[in-house]
């Protein structure tokens, strides 16, 4: 039973419906862990209140003109007691409390207006004098060279928005949302009411709109839509959305898409629209009716679709055809974490989040029927990821566990630019005299090459590893590596050895040690200038060389491609690699993304900030 | 006894607040439980965990006061109260790190999120009243409070993890 966050919040805010109360109690009683989790949520709720009230009390004491004395302290306590009494009275007789608060607020507003009026009068006088000065300056010295007006993003709705049209929906949530209306950027404040026939484009992020009847439309950018004059409908001109109809009043929600109307029969469903190619509907839960539009009422016979069924209308024919679920677009069914939204916006070619509950396959968020990771060994999922779940590799002994795609990532061809992004967590200090000398985070390798190389430096692979300090003292001959002068122990190493262009032996290392016991963000960027390694949002090393790993690449996580290459072909000549089985990660991996482009430093920094909560304001405002 | 009480008071208080969703009722009950613990402390067996013993007293107080829950929209069933009482002694203590993390993370909250928190926790307003004050819909206020609490919890976890 998943954590009932809505029910817990409703309880904490004193407003659960009977259904929510029942669901909450069922959840608490189902497992002692749930009861503990509920108590922890209540405790946080209490502590927030205690801290804020304490801050206000302290502020009240500090704001008095007289030094704090026992008498003042008593007075403050008496004031709080009076406030508490009035609050209690307010709970019993809301009218009195509201009247009391309104009187206070009106008085404060009147005082504020007096101040504003005074400032306006004084400011106006000063402005008039300044304006006279500016006019004189222009007359005497000539006008400004720069005639460009200062453009600020207007807050929608503006004075051009018709006010006589009916309100049909509300913007109820958003993550990273940016908007355009009539092809100009606009800001939509949370909770803004939306009127019929207004056409809006969501250019970035995700947004949730709720109709007057309670149906929710979760929109994913880029998306253009329009509200109709119906209180439970939306017109999707282009883009993707998920419809959720969870209350009885919201049933019958209609999505008008090019070539097709989708009518909810009590469900969760996704619709993707494109004016050129047509529309697709996928039912995630419940059922919908797909029917022709009013413009083409005889294009096809209406059909009821059940869970996991999908249909597509082609724009050129207008006919409805059945499609496999795997052919349908990927729909985001819930507002994602801002970090996830930001990664998706950067358009990775593969993105593994390790949120799957079962099975031996980890799907990519980008195209779930492609670029799947196969789970080898007893790798597990753990709840304490960076966002949601993470992969857990314990690897205390053979056989070692890891993940791999087996086949090449289709979108990673011969690229001049690409980026690898991942999060890792380890408690291990990798040492050569232990049975695990290197913790491989990720390897890209050419599955066609197999083990047809005589030296590791000829291997077509790129590996990000957590290293050790052994090599400082004893460079292993088969590595043939020369340490750069800024080599640090316990660093992150990017391993290939030989530059493709110059054939020189090069590597890059982080100039910071990797840390144990905490999640760290690692990004490897290959651009036309060379390669850069970023750790926790900051660049830590750079080199102007081209890795040998170019062309189609398969992915292995948690284990070096070199190790397994030996194992899969025992009859082939062994490569003189040494430490063959000792490059397995002991730790966690999460949010692994590959991009067919170079991410810029600001984007990398933003990703790190969004995941670590350093951008708390961005997260919640 | 004082040391034992202060060490476990947050856990007892959390149980009472979970059982009695009205803040002021929960505060009153906490005081009553404190008095009962002080009065009966000579009957406390030191071989029993203090928190477990105090929770039994708290549970009885809750049962005695159920008739005064007319203000609440929800009254937990006996089974739910028992489940909470059973889990209450397992709560982690409120450490200095927890309080410091809360203080630090609260300081980072600004603008409308901070306004909503102050209206909810300092003035004990409901979502509709907060919505009126902030010119938002009640649903948007619910979402805002939910996201703010989730962000606070996440911020605190990361701060506490980085300290340990």
The per-residue pLDDT for range A275-295, each reduced to its tens digit, is 888 899 999 889 999 999 888
Q: What's the gap in Å between the CA of A583 and the closest CA on chain B? A: 27
Same domain for A311 and A357? no
Cβ neighbours of residue A207 closer than 8 Å, sequence gap 6 or more = A171, A173, A174, A175, A177, A188, A218, A219
Put simply, the answer to whether B122 touches A52 (Cβ < 8 Å) is yes
Q: φ, ψ for residue B109 (rounded to 5)? A: -85, 135
Least confident stretch, A126-140, A364-378, A387-401: A126-140
Cβ neighbours of residue A490 closer than 8 Å, sequence gap 6 or more = A429, A430, A466, A467, A468, A469, A513, A514
pLDDT at A495 over 70: no
A-B CB pairs within 8 A amount to 172
CATH number at residue A436: 2.60.120.200
Alpha helices for A449-499 (secondary structure H):
470-473
| B105 chain-A contacts, CB cut-off 8 A | 616
Our count of domains for chain A comes to 3
DSSP A227: E
Q: φ, ψ for residue A594 (rounded to 5)? A: -120, 135
Same domain for A562 and A427? yes
Q: Does A84 touch chain B (CB under 8 A)?
A: yes
Q: Which residue has the higher pLDDT, A86 or A514?
A: A514
pLDDT at A84 over 50: no
* Cα–Cα distance measured from residue A40 to residue B152, given in angstroms and rounded to the nearest whole number: 13
Q: Name the band, by pLDDT with cuts 50, 70 and 90, for residue A486.
A: very low
Query: Which whole number is the average pLDDT over A545-555?
Result: 68
* Cα–Cα distance measured from residue A21 to residue A315, given in angstroms and rounded to the nearest whole number: 47
DSSP string, A243-287: EE--SGGGTT-EEEETTEEEEESS-EEEEEEETTTEEEEEEEES-
Cα angle at A184 between A232 and A194, to 5 degrees? 20
The confidence score (pLDDT) of residue B78 equals 78
* Cα–Cα distance measured from residue A545 to residue A531, given in angstroms and rounded to the nearest whole number: 7
| A42 chain-B contacts, CB cut-off 8 A | 14, 17-18
* Cα–Cα distance measured from residue B55 to residue B87, given in angstroms and rounded to the nearest whole number: 10
Same domain for A475 and A579? yes
Strand-pairing partners, residue A554, are: A445
Q: What's the gap in Å between the CA of B106 and the closest CA on chain A? A: 8
Least confident stretch, A156-165, A604-613, B80-89: A156-165
Query: Which whole number is the average pLDDT over B56-76?
Result: 66
Domain membership flag for residue A254 = yes
Among residues A92, A117, A144, the one where a domain terminates is: A92
* Cα–Cα distance measured from residue A338 to residue A431, given in angstroms and rounded to the nearest whole number: 37
Domain membership flag for residue A175 = yes
A267, A243 Cβ separation under 8 angstroms? yes
* Cα–Cα distance measured from residue A221 to residue A344, given in angstroms and rounded to the nearest whole number: 10
Closest to A25 (Cβ–Cβ): which among B77, B103, B108? Answer: B77
Q: Which residue has the higher pLDDT, A146 or A515?
A: A515
pLDDT tens for each residue of A214-237: 899 999 988 999 998 888 999 999
Closest to A46 (Cβ–Cβ): which among B17, B71, B90? Answer: B17
DSSP A160: T
Query: Which whole number is the average pLDDT over A490-500?
Result: 52
Put simply, the answer to whether B110 touches A617 (Cβ < 8 Å) is yes
DSSP A498: B
pLDDT tens for each residue of A393-419: 888 777 788 898 978 887 776 677 889
Domain membership flag for residue A196 = yes
Residue A368 in tokens: 């779930």
Residue B3 in tokens: 């040391």
Q: Name the band, by pLDDT with cuts 50, 70 and 90, for residue A311.
A: very high
Q: Does B132 touch chain A (CB under 8 A)?
A: no
pLDDT at A579 over 50: no
Q: Which residue has the higher pLDDT, A16 or B66?
A: A16
Q: From A5, which residue of chain B is nearest by alpha-carbon distance?
A: B146
Query: Which whole number is the average pLDDT over A199-219?
Result: 90
Average predicted confidence (pLDDT) for chain A: 73
Same domain for A418 and A493? yes
Domain membership flag for residue A111 = no
Domain membership flag for residue A122 = no
Q: Nearest CA to A235 among A251, A219, A213?
A: A219
Query: Which whole number is the average pLDDT over A317-339?
Result: 84
Residue A44 in tokens: 């946080």
Domain membership flag for residue A115 = no
From the number of C-beta atoms within 10 Å of its C-beta (0-12, 13-18, 19+), residue B34 rates as: middle
Q: Name the band, by pLDDT with cuts 50, 70 and 90, for residue A370.
A: confident
Q: What's the gap in Å between the CA of A509 and the closest CA on chain B? A: 24
Put simply, the answer to whether A39 touches B120 (Cβ < 8 Å) is no
The confidence score (pLDDT) of residue A483 equals 31
Same domain for A323 and A353? no
Q: Does A52 touch chain B (CB under 8 A)?
A: yes
| A51 chain-B contacts, CB cut-off 8 A | 99, 102-103, 106
* Cα–Cα distance measured from residue A356 to residue A420, given in angstroms and rounded to the nearest whole number: 21
Sign of CA dihedral A572, A576, A579, A584: negative
CATH 1.10.1760 is right for the domain spanning B2-90: no
Same domain for A498 and A356? yes
Put simply, the answer to whether A613 touches B151 (Cβ < 8 Å) is yes
Q: What's the gap in Å between the CA of B31 and the closest CA on chain A? A: 15
A31, A21 Cβ separation under 8 angstroms? no
The parent domain of residue A209 ranges over 167-327
Residue A264 in tokens: 């909810």
Same domain for A369 and A479? yes
Query: Which whole number is the average pLDDT over A566-579?
Result: 42
Put simply, the answer to whether A617 touches B112 (Cβ < 8 Å) is no
Put simply, the answer to whether B86 touches A35 (Cβ < 8 Å) is yes
Q: What's the gap in Å between the CA of B91 and the closest CA on chain A? A: 7
- H or E element at residue A420: strand A418-426
pLDDT at A194 over 80: yes
Least confident stretch, A115-124, A146-155, A572-581, B56-65: A572-581
Closest to A613 (Cβ–Cβ): which among B17, B21, B155? Answer: B155
Q: Name the band, by pLDDT with cuts 50, 70 and 90, for residue A598.
A: very high
Q: What's the gap in Å between the CA of A244 and the closest CA on chain B? A: 16
Q: Which residue has the higher pLDDT, A527 or A456?
A: A527
pLDDT at A572 over 70: no
Q: Which residue has the higher pLDDT, A251 or A542?
A: A251
Residue with tokens 């006894």: B1
Residue with tokens 């002021």: B24
* Cα–Cα distance measured from residue A488 to residue A500, given in angstroms and rounded to the nearest whole number: 25
CATH number at residue A216: 2.60.120.1440
How many residues are given for chain A?
A: 621
Percentage with pLDDT > 90 across chain A: 20
pLDDT at A341 over 50: yes
The confidence score (pLDDT) of residue B92 equals 77
The confidence score (pLDDT) of residue A70 equals 38
pLDDT at B97 over 60: yes
SS3 A521: strand
**β pairing state of A254-257 and A233-244:** parallel
| B51 chain-A contacts, CB cut-off 8 A | none
Domain locations along chain B: 2-90, 96-163
Same domain for A309 and A358? no
Q: Name the band, by pLDDT with cuts 50, 70 and 90, for residue A604.
A: very high
| A172 chain-B contacts, CB cut-off 8 A | 137, 139-140, 143
Same domain for A84 and A215? no
Closest to A48 (Cβ–Cβ): which among B14, B121, B155? Answer: B121
Among residues A92, A110, A132, the one where a domain terminates is: A92
pTM of the entire predicted model: 0.54
CATH 1.10.10.10 is right for the domain spanning B96-163: yes
The confidence score (pLDDT) of residue A452 equals 61
Top-ranked range on mean pLDDT: pick from A197-206, A307-316, A592-601, B2-11: A592-601
H helix and E strand count, chain A? 10, 30
B/e letters for B35-58, b = 16+ CB within 10 Å, e = fewer, are eebeeeeeeeeeeeebbebbbebb
Q: Nearest CA to A543 among A494, A472, A503?
A: A494
Query: In whole angstroms, how large is the CA radius of gyration of chain A?
Result: 31
The confidence score (pLDDT) of residue B21 equals 62
pLDDT at A352 over 90: yes
Q: What's the gap in Å between the CA of A408 and the closest CA on chain B? A: 36
| A210 chain-B contacts, CB cut-off 8 A | 139
Among residues A71, A92, A113, the one where a domain terminates is: A92
* Cα–Cα distance measured from residue B12 to residue A398, given in angstroms and rounded to the nearest whole number: 47
Closest to B109 (Cβ–Cβ): which among A46, A171, A616? Answer: A616
A429, A468 Cβ separation under 8 angstroms? yes
Find residues 138-157 of chain B whose CB sits inside 8 Å of chain A. 139-140, 142-156
pLDDT at A363 over 90: no
Q: For B99, left (φ over 0), alpha (ψ -120 to 50), or beta?
A: alpha
From the number of C-beta atoms within 10 Å of its C-beta (0-12, 13-18, 19+), residue A248 rates as: exposed
Q: What's the gap in Å between the CA of B43 and the closest CA on chain A? A: 27
Residue A228 in tokens: 């109709």
Same domain for A313 and A357? no
Q: Name the band, by pLDDT with cuts 50, 70 and 90, for residue A262.
A: very high
Q: Name the band, by pLDDT with cuts 50, 70 and 90, for residue A182.
A: confident
Q: Does A383 touch chain B (CB under 8 A)?
A: no
pLDDT tens for each residue of A445-484: 777 776 566 555 566 677 888 876 444 433 322 222 223 3
A402, A393 Cβ separation under 8 angstroms? yes
The confidence score (pLDDT) of residue A507 equals 61
Q: Name the band, by pLDDT with cuts 50, 70 and 90, for residue A343.
A: very high
Q: Which residue has the higher pLDDT, B163 or A158?
A: B163
Q: From B14, which residue of chain A is nearest by alpha-carbon distance?
A: A43
Domain membership flag for residue A615 = no
Query: Which whole number is the average pLDDT over A297-325?
Result: 89
Q: Which residue has the higher pLDDT, A202 or A448?
A: A202
Domain membership flag for residue A247 = yes
The confidence score (pLDDT) of residue A93 equals 30
Put simply, the answer to whether B162 touches A613 (Cβ < 8 Å) is no
Same domain for A361 and A301? no
Q: Does B60 touch chain A (CB under 8 A)?
A: no
* Cα–Cα distance measured from residue B130 to residue B142, given in angstroms and rounded to the nearest whole number: 10
Query: Which whole number is the average pLDDT over A131-147?
Result: 45
Put simply, the answer to whether B137 touches A52 (Cβ < 8 Å) is no
Find residues 2-41 of chain B whose CB sits inside 8 Å of chain A. 10-11, 13-15, 17-18, 21-24, 26
ipTM of the complex: 0.77
Find residues 85-124 of chain B whose CB sits inside 8 Å of chain A. 86-88, 90-92, 94, 98-99, 102-103, 105-106, 108-113, 117-118, 120-124
Strand-pairing partners, residue A285, are: A268
From the number of C-beta atoms within 10 Å of its C-beta (0-12, 13-18, 19+), residue A165 rates as: middle
Query: Which of B59, B78, B79, B83 is the mutation pick for testing A, counting most A CBs within 10 A?
Result: B83
pLDDT at A240 over 90: yes
């Amino acid at each position: 039973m998943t954590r009932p966050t809505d029910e817990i919040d409703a309880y904490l805010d004193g407003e659960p419906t009977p259904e929510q109360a029942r669901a909450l109690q069922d959840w608490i009683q189902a497992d002692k862990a749930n009861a503990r989790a509920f108590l922890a949520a209540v405790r946080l709720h209490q502590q927030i209140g205690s801290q804020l009230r304490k801050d206000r009390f302290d502020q009240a004491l500090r704001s008095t003109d007289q030094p704090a004395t026992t008498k003042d302290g008593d007075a403050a306590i008496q004031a709080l007691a009076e406030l508490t009494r009035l609050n209690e009275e307010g709970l019993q007789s809301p009218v009195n409390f509201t009247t009391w608060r309104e009187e206070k607020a009106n008085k404060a507003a009147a005082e504020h207006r007096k101040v504003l009026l005074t400032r306006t009068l004084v400011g106006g006088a000063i402005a008039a004098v300044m304006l006279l000065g500016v006019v004189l300056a222009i007359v005497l010295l000539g006008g400004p060279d720069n005639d460009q007006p200062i453009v600020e993003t207007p807050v929608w709705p503006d004075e051009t928005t018709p006010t006589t049209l009916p309100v049909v929906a509300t913007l109820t949530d958003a993550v990273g949302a940016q908007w355009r209306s009539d092809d100009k950027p606009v800001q939509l404040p949370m909770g803004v009411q939306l009127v019929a026939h207004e056409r809006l484009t969501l250019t970035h992020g995700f947004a949730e709109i709720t109709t007057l009847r309670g149906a929710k439309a979760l929109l994913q950018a880029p998306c253009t839509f329009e509200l109709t004059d119906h209180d439970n409908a939306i017109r999707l001109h282009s883009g993707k959305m998920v419809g959720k109809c969870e209350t009885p009043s919201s049933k019958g929600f209609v999505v008008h898409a090019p070539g097709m109307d989708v009518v909810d029969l009590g469900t969760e469903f996704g619709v993707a629209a494109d004016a050129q190619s047509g529309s697709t509907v996928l039912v995630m839960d419940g059922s919908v009716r797909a029917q022709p539009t009013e413009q083409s009422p005889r294009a096809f016979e209406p059909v009821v679709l059940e869970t996991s069924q999908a249909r597509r209308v082609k724009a050129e024919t207008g006919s409805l055809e059945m499609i496999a679920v795997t052919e349908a677009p990927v729909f985001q069914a819930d507002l994602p974490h801002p970090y996830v939204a930001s990664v998706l916006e950067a358009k990775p070619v593969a993105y593994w989040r390790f949120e799957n509950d079962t099975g031996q396959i980890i799907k990519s968020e980008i195209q779930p029927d492609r670029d799947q990771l196969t789970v080898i060994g007893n790798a597990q999922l753990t709840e304490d990821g960076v966002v949601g779940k993470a992969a857990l590799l314990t690897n205390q002994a053979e056989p070692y566990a890891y993940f791999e795609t087996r086949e090449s990532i289709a979108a990673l061809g011969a690229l001049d630019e690409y980026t690898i992004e991942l999060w890792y967590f380890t408690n291990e200090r990798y040492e050569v005299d232990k049975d695990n000398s290197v913790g491989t985070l990720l390897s890209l390798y050419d599955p066609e090459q197999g083990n047809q190389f005589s030296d590791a430096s000829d291997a077509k692979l790129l590996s990000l590893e957590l290293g050790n300090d052994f090599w400082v003292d004893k460079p292993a001959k088969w590595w043939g590596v020369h340490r750069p002068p800024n080599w640090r122990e316990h660093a992150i190493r990017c391993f290939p050895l030989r530059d493709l262009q110059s054939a020189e032996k090069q590597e890059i290392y982080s100039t910071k040690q990797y840390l144990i016991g905490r999640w760290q963000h690692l990004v490897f960027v290959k651009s036309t200038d060379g390669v850069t390694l970023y750790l926790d949002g900051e660049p830590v090393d750079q080199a102007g060389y081209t890795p040998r790993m170019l062309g189609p690449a398969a992915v292995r996580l948690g284990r070096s491609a070199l190790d397994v290459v030996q194992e899969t072909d025992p009859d082939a000549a062994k490569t003189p690699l040494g430490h063959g089985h000792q490059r397995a990660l002991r730790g966690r991996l999460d949010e692994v993304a590959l991009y067919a482009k170079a991410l810029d430093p600001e984007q990398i920094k933003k990703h790190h900030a969004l995941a670590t909560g350093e951008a708390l304001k961005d997260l919640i405002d | 006894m004082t040391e034992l009480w202060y060490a476990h008071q947050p856990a007892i208080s959390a149980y009472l607040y979970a059982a009695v969703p009205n803040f002021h009722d929960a505060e009153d009950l906490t005081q009553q439980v404190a008095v009962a613990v002080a009065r009966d402390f000579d009957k406390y067996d030191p071989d029993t965990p203090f928190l477990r013993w105090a929770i039994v007293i708290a549970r009885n107080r809750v049962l005695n006061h159920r008739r005064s829950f007319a203000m609440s929209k929800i009254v937990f069933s006996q089974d739910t109260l028992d489940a909470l009482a059973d889990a209450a002694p397992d709560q982690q203590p409120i450490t200095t790190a927890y309080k410091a993390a809360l203080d630090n993370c609260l300081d980072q909250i600004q603008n409308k999120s901070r306004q909503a928190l102050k209206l909810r926790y300092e003035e004990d307003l409901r979502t509709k009243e907060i919505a009126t004050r902030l010119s938002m819909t009640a649903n948007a206020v619910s979402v805002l409070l939910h996201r703010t609490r989730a962000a606070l919890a996440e911020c605190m976890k990361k701060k506490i993890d980085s300290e340990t």
